[in-house]
Structure 1
């Protein structure tokens, strides 16, 4: 079940201002969710978010420090590579699950994380996983956070096996 009362980058010990990178990831997932629902062009949604949503409060904090280039890169990249990202995610889903069964907000989050794992190689895989697990925890109550953690861990071990000191465990899915 979705929730809205938690700051996605607040630790268990309390709240802190989200970093510009974390804020960009949060807004990118929201923008991609909006694109999925409304079918608006990514450039239009990015412009709206940069004009209006960046200044909105989240838990009483302004996101004016959002990393705008990262927000644009994530939304444009995920939008351009949706089919490829879905294929990557499908390859690490349990056999009895399909991409079509994944709720759209959760899928938007997973696609964004998969994009970062496959394209933003300068960001360590463990950082990507941690960021998106935090976002899942901010958006959802229940098992979604564990689901995101498991999916991204499996995907990271495939896409970035060398970061984990291993050879790729599954066939190349890119």
Structure 2
């Protein structure tokens, strides 16, 4: 895969989007740079392939990760989807789910504060990506139950979490 950048050799850290690109490349996941401060790629999950975007805000030293499961919320289901979001977000320690106002796209968002050096370690990048995908996988069935199975949000969440506990 040619992502148009030099490979990361320093295991201690690199610029955040560079490190994400190196992580994607190491796993064989497709990715591309949108610009100097944004990388976009695809990460396989248990239920679907997620689009993962890393956006670096230099002035704040924050890397924002967006994980998108390719789910659009139809207008007629927005009220139930927002209720489900509130129930899910109560359970999260890091990051949160949201629905973009333009297009109704479901996403998981997490911001990583990076130290004064502006570097992200490979282990921090790996943990952040794994966490985002794990949370999307964990709650993906609940969104499907609400959007396509016509379950109410509480029942959908309960069913999704019971199913997740039962997996080996």
TM-score (norm 2): 0.32
* Larger strand percent: 2
* Larger helix percent: 1
Q: Which has the higher contact order (CA 8 A, sep 6+)?
A: 1
Larger Rg: 2
TM-score (norm 1): 0.31
